[in-house]
Amino acid sequence: MRNLVLNPRAISGHLLSGIHRIRQSLKTGPKKHPHFVVITIDNEARRERSPEAPVDRLFWGRYQGREYGIPMIMDMADAFGYPAIFFTDTLTVRSYGKEPIREVCQEVLRRGHDCALHSHPELHIPDYQDRFDYYWTDEGVRSWLGEASDYLAEFTGQPTRAYRAGGYRVSPASFRAMRDIGIEADFSSLLGHKQCMIDASYCNNGVRKYDGVYEVPVSVYHDVKGTPRKLDVNWRTPETFRWHLQEAMAAGVLCTTIFLHSWSFLKFDATWLEATEAVGVDEEAIANFQGMLEVVSETPGTQVVTSLELIDYLKANPDALNAPDTIPAIRPAAA
């Protein structure tokens, strides 16, 4: 065994170097991360919302000779130079075939936006309701999520790396399946939602890792009653979005999510699951989305990214997972 010879000069130099680094860190403080904004669209088609032409109406938003769906959303984001993330329900091929969904995915990519994975197995697997428990075992979720992922990879020519569950329906088995499939980031967690089958308290607005997968939660704030509310263009105004963004950035939260569906700009004449058809254009939702994009463009320090850009940033900057997990809260006016 060699004798270990200590060089006092070297030790002194290392100590001084270490002291210098500590002093520098005290001066500069923790690394300042950008505040990321993700524009997320759930791309899906269900007969209950549009019995006549689900793909035309609910993906493309075709109504009275115009397209109010993904083409309009991309046009509006493009006007600001922003990429949007289209989480696409590829299990729709079970109901309507591959070609209509392939066309959707490839148009999103052609326009320079991000095509990620969405899934509503309850809409497209015939015995899903009868065998619900099976489909949420490791074997069951690995089967249908793997199928959905394979479709997306086929349509885009790219591996599936990002996912949002339909109805925020994720479970511990979902994350094991995602890891197995190679999905690196999930955008499903919504604080307080009854179908989110994991303890969402581990991340409210902060980006964290859950069982090896990055979790980017749906952004929420607390209203005056303490109820979590998401930043959905059908329900939230640009003013509320501006307030939330400023509060989140001031608290050091890493990411804010803008939420909409491919059919958000159309009005329907019935409740969520009843058979219906579009009866008009939701001008208020269009104005809300436009206003939110303007707010982002007017807010220094924000950066709009794709799911892949966010994943790559998190890999390169693991300390970003330690950013605060603050929930902005609207306080009632003082009496």
- For the CA atoms of 218, 160, 43, 148, the dihedral, rounded to the nearest 10 degrees, stands at -110
Tell me the C-alpha distance between 276 and 263, whole Å. Answer: 13
Strands 228-230 and 266-268: unpaired
Residues near 177 by Cβ (< 8 Å), separated by ≥ 6? Answer: 138, 141, 142, 145, 146
Confidence of residue 52 (pLDDT cuts 50, 70, 90): confident
**Please, what is the average pLDDT of the chain?**
88
Residue type, 311: I
Q: Answer positive or negative: Cα dihedral of 287, 288, 289, 290.
A: positive
Tell me the C-alpha distance between 261 and 61, whole Å. Answer: 10
Hey, which bits of the chain come out as E strands?
35-43, 62-63, 66-67, 85-89, 114-119, 162-165, 185-186, 208-210, 213-215, 220-222, 228-230, 255-261, 266-268, 278-281, 302-304
In 3D space, the residue among 327, 308, 87 whose CA is nearest the CA of residue 206 turns out to be 327
pLDDT tens profile 257-315? 999 999 999 998 765 555 577 889 999 999 999 999 999 999 999 999 999 999 999 99
3 state DSSP class of 77: helix
Tell me the C-alpha distance between 218 and 232, whole Å. Answer: 10
In degrees and rounded to multiples of 5, residue 305 shows phi and psi of -135, 160
What was the pLDDT predicted at 10? 37
Specify which residues 229 forms β-bridges with.
221
pTM, 2 dp: 0.88
Average pLDDT estimate for 213-230:
95
Task: Say yes or no: domain 37-322 is CATH 3.40.50.2020.
Answer: no
Average pLDDT estimate for 324-329:
95
- Which of 45-49, 110-114, 200-204 has the lowest average pLDDT? 200-204
Residues near 299 by Cβ (< 8 Å), separated by ≥ 6? Answer: 242, 245, 246, 249
The domain spans of the chain are 37-322
Average pLDDT estimate for 46-68:
89
